[in-house]
Amino acid sequence: MGYATPIDISDEDMLYSVLTRPIPPKTEYAKQRPATPTELSTSSDDISSDNESICAYKLRPVTPVLTETSTSDIYSSDTDTELASERTPEADPAELEPAECAVAPRTWRQAIEPRLWSVATLVGIFACAPFVVACWAVLVALGRTFGERLAAIGGKRCDEVKPNGKVAIVSGGKMTKAYVIARQLKAQGCRVVLLETSKYWMVASRASNCVDRFAMVPLPEKDLAGYLDAVRALAIEEKADLFIPVTSPAASEYEAQVAPVLPAGCVSWSLDLETVRDLDDKTAFCSSAERLGLPAPRSHRVASDEEAHAFNEKLLAEAATATADAETRYILKSLAYDSMHRLDLFTLPCAPDVLDAYLAKLHTDGAAITQARPRRHSRRQP
């Protein structure tokens, strides 16, 4: 008794080795038990003649089959192991399950082309290296030759300005506007201390000769008390005279709270917290502009999905009786700073299912309309 070797054609590497292996000499095949409908194996003759059928139908691996075999040495060879030849009864092709085609071997172009691109990129880098080095050398030479004349025309260098004894703390070190302010302060003779959170510790401005010190502070969004304590301690240590909040949109309210904790003699250029909140609130800002007689877009505040749907239905009813030129459209925007959806410019009125899809997207992204995160509709200007 012996076992015929089944073929597991579900493995791509195994399939490739089977398709490319030499065909063993024909021998007297063992008598086999009748095949069951759930099994399908392939003999060496079938493999050599019916390769295309592998891509057309799903071949199922079979379990070892107990067969009658002889004791000849031909059956003990590892390379010439006899394969069981079993097939299912003839079935309707429509009932066979289509399977993914076996992955064909990669062509020489597919194997070589990525490597050629890598080599070409490296060659290009090395070819440009002399040009880059030459340009750098020319710029250095020009700077050393004409640097003093250019400084006389454009002003003194930051490290050549006489100190005036004032110390300024500038926040928002990751932004270009903070670097511009640092240069202006340094040109007036101030000692400049640049602030940034640990998230942006490797900013280019910290290496400027216009910055005398770079300090990191906690994230105010996560630890407001720690942020205020760090700024106060730094102001006391540096004996600061001025705090300039170069703030990002998300941090304006936090930096407006720095003024009360600063030591005596240190002035903050931020507005008070209430004014900053009114300016950041788009609805309150538009109302303030209207009270001053300034043109401002009409706005409507919504604090839930239901209020958004109600306002959309109201606009749809108005649009049904208005002409195309008189139709009013509104832009839905978050009152709080929303970096993910601030450029959506989603407009109303729209079909209810379209609004449902957008509100579902807001829920998925964690920016749903709530009392804590209200949104407003502002009239879109023609």
- Provide DSSP, 162-228: PP-S-EEEE--TTSHHHHHHHHHHHHTT-EEEEEEEGGG-S-GGGGSTT-SEEEEE--TTT-HHHHH
Q: What is the DSSP letter of 334?
A: E
Lowest model confidence (mean pLDDT) among 14-28, 141-155, 312-326, 354-368:
14-28
* Spatial CA neighbour of 309 closest among 366, 256, 349: 349
- Residue 42: helix, strand or coil by DSSP? coil
CA 128 to mean position of chain CA atoms: 32
Using one digit for the tens of pLDDT, what is the confidence trace for 289-301? 989 999 888 888 8
- Amino acid sitting at position 162: K
What pLDDT score was predicted for residue 241? 95
- Please tell us whether the domain made up of 161-278 is placed in CATH 3.40.50.460: no
Using one digit for the tens of pLDDT, what is the confidence trace for 52-68? 444 443 444 444 444 44
Helix (H) or strand (E) holding 347: strand 346-348
0.75 surpassed by pTM? no
